[in-house]
Structure 1
């Protein structure tokens, strides 16, 4: 029983150690979208700071799946988000709308 409890504690600590930091994730996005999501990436994209968390999540999932191609940016965005986990997408979706506040 002690081994099970110890394993559970170790797992919990490991999960918290690898918690998603959306600010760090967003640094990659900021190159094109601006520090506060205020720019049209390559003068083509929507201004992401004006999007809701749900809209951002839907867009990121679509780009990741390769099914979204807004303003012809599908391939480039797919390359940017294809390795994001569902947890990272969710974290970014919640974080981006807070940048403009």
Structure 2
């Protein structure tokens, strides 16, 4: 009985897990289908950023802690809006998906 309950619980977690590939589709407009595009020659290629740093940056954008600075394009405002609807699990899933594109 315990094994059945455990299997059902694991299946439910898997069913509700974030789909990094599906979430990344809205990112691809600026960052490219393979996360290989430099956006406005300002943002580095996502696949060249360390995964831990990439995830930390996503969280910092969501928190509004990163901005473009005076006289620069305010990427922080753009990215804050993009990250606003993503949960930590969503960001982790996208980050993991980007890592597969290398």
- The bucket for the TM-score relative to the shorter chain is 0.7 to 0.9
Using the size of structure 2 for normalisation, the TM-score is 0.79
Bigger proportion of residues as helix: 1
What is residue 95 of structure 1 aligned with on the other side?
97
Secondary structure in 2 aligned to 1:28?
coil
1:28 Cα deviation after fit: 0.8
1:10-89 equivalences under 5 Å are 12-70=10-68, 72-89=74-91
Q: How many Å apart are 1:9 and its aligned residue?
A: 7.4
TM-score (normalised: structure 1): 0.80
* Maintained 8 Å contact 1:51/1:97: no
- What is the Cα-based RMSD across aligned positions, in Å? 2.1
Moved over 6 A (4+): none
Count of residue pairs the alignment pairs up: 96
Q: Could you tell me which runs of 5 or more consecutive residues in structure 1 were left unpaired when the two chains were aligned.
A: none
